[in-house]
Amino acid sequence: MKAFNIENGVLIRYSGNKKSVTLPEEITVIGNRAFEGSKNLEEIVRPEGVREIRATAFATCRKLRSISLPRSLMELGEYAFSGCEGLAKIELRSDLKVIRNNTFDGCRGL
Q: Which of 26, 70, 29 is nearest to 48 (CA)?
A: 70
Residue 1 has pLDDT above 70, yes or no: no
Question: By C-alpha distance, which of 27, 28, 56, 22 is closest to 42?
Answer: 22
Name all domains of the chain by residue range, CATH numbers in brackets: 1-110 (3.80.10.10)
Residue 2 has pLDDT above 90, yes or no: no
pTM > 0.75: yes or no:
yes
b/e per residue 39-74 (b: at least 16 CB within 10 A): eebbebebeebbbbbbbbbbbbbeebbebebeeebe
Is the pLDDT at 91 greater than 90? The verdict is no
What pLDDT score was predicted for residue 93?
A: 81
- Please give the Cα distance from 43 to 78 (Å, whole number): 20
Cβ-count burial of 12 within 10 angstroms (0-12 exposed, 13-18 middle, 19+ buried)?
middle
DSSP secondary structure letter of residue 34: S
pLDDT tens across 33-81, in order?
999 999 999 999 877 899 999 999 999 999 999 887 888 999 999 999 9
